[in-house]
Chains A and B, each alone.
Chain A
Amino acid sequence: MKSQSAEKKYLPDMPQKEVEELNASVKAASERIMADNIERMKKTDPNRPAAMQYFDEVSNFFGMRQKEIQEAKAQGRKVIGYLCVFAPIELILAADAIPVRVNSGWYDTSKLGDRIVPVEVCPVIRSTIGAKMIDLSPYLELSDAVISTLTCDGQTKLSEILSDAKQMWIMTPPRVKDSAQSLHLWKEEIKAIKTQIEKLTGNKITPKKLKEAIETMQKATKAFRRLQDLRKGNPVIMGRDAMLVNQMSMWDDIKRWTKKTEALCDELEKRAEKNEWACPPDTPRVIVTGTPMFWPDNWKLPTLIEEATPQGILVGDELCSSDRVLYDPVGIDEWTMDDMINGIAERYLMASTCPCFTSKDGNEDRVNWLLNKVKDTKAQGVIYYVIRGCMLYAMEYSRVKKALDKVDIPVYYLDTEYTREDVGQMKTRVEAFLEMLSARVDF
């Protein structure tokens, strides 16, 4: 375990009073935004599925889920935060700890982050730093340790900065996925994390427990895929709602989430039978790809798409904050400890489409994923979303565009910041794109 030196390397010593004041004001603003987002989602789909009620509830950062975790902690359970979808959730669950994702989507805190790192840095990183500075994120605060994966430069330095305040467990993913030595390295990382988790929680991860955890996650994946499959036909659910459901899987109790998602799917199926659509079936179908978008503030683009005139609907995305989270299962051939560890290592490394990878044979995984998604969901256009400072996604754009051009799918590059100021300008751009899509539909 890393010793925590009293002297902070990055984080400033802010007066307690300032921290509290800022925390209170950002929190209040955030609560307003969450309520507003949900209100608007309800307005977009007046006939919003009743099952969404539950997800609205969990989505409140400062609500019932926070309390639940606090209570669990009081009973001695540990909370393990993670910054990327590379964290082996199965191992965390097998040790009876609670996994929560701690990336930040707050706009306001990114300004605070500017005090430590320059504005050129990706706002997801700056905002997470800022959230830590004013102790805003309940999940980050409650985490006993945080798993950080050194994917991009931002994440790399972020884990160093956060180590001022938190116990960080750092995992290095290899940048090339498909070589024997990469997998070997990654397996060792997974094993090391397993030891750390066992040490922190004091619970040994037995084969039986791990098997249970894997099966829990497989069930979650099944529910998750069911929801994505439902989005392939006529619109039964608005994209934002589905996105919220997907994102909650990273914060909620996964077993309960699975049950609630299955219930939502049941409801949606019934609606589809009765031809009750969330919006007119000829609404242009859009997919978003690029930098992850986090609840609650960074709900800007999906909101714009679905509230625009002409309206669009998000039928899927290629974001590691949403459609990619639970897509892949851990598949086990022989339920021995070794095979399970191997299965977990492979699932988190090889199936990942994170742009931090490159490969000897062309690195087509992300492009393939996207092409398949476009085909499956019959999407008519793709919005390539990048927040300024997110190098990897920005750089992959031209490649993705070429691939989409080949299948005649228009793609639009949209860059923005963690701010509300450019909403008006973005609206014009999104509407022009949707206009073009609906013209193509008519044609």
Chain B
Amino acid sequence: MYEALLGTIFAAIVAIGLALAGVLIITIWKKDRTRKLSYLRLFIQVVSLVGIFISFTMALWLVAFFLVIFAVTLFSGRFFCGWVCPFGFYMDLIAMLRKKLGIRYWTLSDRVNGALNRLRYVIAAAILVSPLLVGALTITPASQIQFLFLRGPYHSLNLFLSPLEPLIVPWTGALANLGFVDWSFSYPYTRDIVYYINIPVVTSVLIYIFIGLTLVSTFMYRRFWCRFCPTGITLAAANRFKAFKWAPVLHINKTEEKCTKCGICKRVCPVQVTEVYEQKGGDIKTSMCLNCMRCVEMCPYEDCLKVNLGGKTVFHSRNWLEPSNIE
């Protein structure tokens, strides 16, 4: 009952939200040249959230999500993170709130940021290896089905999908532990906490701590979770190796001569990627980049930064010097 009702309410909210977002985008498109892409991205994030919610209502094989994310990441870097991931979207919303309050973000030192990025690989490796350890090697018809739904020994792979969790889900929400019984409220990773640590009070406390920590850290550091999130593991790094050069089709490309090293790209990057600034032209090689393209949008030199999709430039930096009156 509740689910159906909430689903309808949610759909209504989303519909109104989308309409408003549409109007907003058109207004901004007209006036503000430095935020066009950002608002388009916001729009796509909302649409994706709805899409994910809807596909959750269908008994989709979770493994399909899993494969899609990996395919997208393989061919286009972390495009998924910049434009689709709901958790990333929530973090962007928090950043918007912070901006409204006129508070500037904090920054991590490049060393810590780099260490977190490497930590991501360790976490991801651990998650991938664990099914093998719990005996998934014995392939039975049952275990094949389990694999499709990421159950049983494959449950750990769910961790990769946790950032996809909408705040309202079409099933019993994981926040039931916090007293929202019968409500379909959820939050990324809470289902995993419940699954792994199912001890009455402890679980609730842990969930509170987790939500509190992620909110606060995101308020302070832009896209904090993304700096070590295992889902964000990327093969954009394939860029680096000759043998894999064919794989990524989406590149951020820089023309060295045009760059005046003004540093804007480095400052605006939500995950503090330094490569766009430091690299001497060519395709940017980094596994940290979310492909949010904020740097391309903000670089003030015509054609200095470009987004190339399969060799074709789909977006490039412009001389945006038409100051906005929006904020």
Contacts and interface: CB of A to CB of B under 8 A. Distances in A.
Mutual binders A and B = yes
B323 A225 contact: no
B192 interface: no
B99 A334 contact: yes
Contact of A178 (B261, B299, B319): B261
B205 interface: no
Given A221-B321, A361-B280, 8 more contacts: A177-B261, A178-B278, A215-B323, A218-B323, A222-B321, A336-B99, A339-B267, A361-B278
Interface string B285-311: 000000000100011100000000000
Interface string B132-164: 000000000000000000000000000000000
24 contacts: A178-B278, A218-B321, A218-B323, A219-B323, A222-B319, A222-B321, A328-B260, A329-B321, A331-B34, A331-B264, A333-B268, A333-B294, A334-B99, A342-B267, A346-B262, A346-B267, A350-B263, A351-B262, A361-B280, A365-B260, A368-B256, A368-B260, A369-B260, A372-B258
- The SS class assigned to the A binding surface is helix
A271 interface: no
Interface residues of B, number: 30
Nearest to A345: B263
A350 B264 CA distance: 10
A222 B261 contact: no
Contact of B257 (A328, A343, A372): A372
B140 to A, nearest CB: 53
Nearest to A223: B321
A339 B104 contact: yes
Q: Name the prevailing secondary structure of the B interface residues.
A: loop
A177 B260 CA distance: 12
Contacts of A369: 260
Contacts of A327: 260
A415 to B, nearest CB: 27
B321 A334 contact: no
A370 to B, nearest CB: 9
Nearest to A370: B257
Interface in A185-234: 207, 214-215, 218-219, 221-222, 225
Contacts of B34: 331
B103 A180 contact: no
A328 B321 contact: no
A222 B263 CA distance: 19
B182 interface: no
B322 A222 contact: yes
Nearest to A342: B267
A346 B267 CA distance: 9
A394 B322 CA distance: 38
A319 to B, nearest CB: 15
Interface in A323-364: 327-329, 331, 333-339, 342-343, 346-347, 350-351, 353, 361, 364
A375 interface: yes
A222 B301 CA distance: 11
Contacts of A177: 261
Contacts of B300: 328-329, 331
Contacts of A346: 262-264, 267
Contacts of B298: 331, 333
A207 B102 CA distance: 10
A328 B102 contact: no
A308 interface: no
A352 to B, nearest CB: 9
In the A-B complex, the 10 residue pairs with the closest CB atoms: A338-B104, A222-B321, A215-B323, A346-B263, A331-B264, A351-B262, A372-B257, A333-B268, A350-B263, A336-B104
Contacts of B263: 346-347, 350-351
Max chain B CB contacts within 10 Å: which of A218, A331, A338, A375?
A: A331
Contacts of B268: 331, 333
Given A350-B262, A365-B260, A180 B267 contact: no
Interface string A168-183: 0000000001101000
A371 interface: yes
Contacts of B264: 331, 333, 343, 346
A366 B319 CA distance: 20
B114 to A, nearest CB: 13
Contacts of A351: 260-263
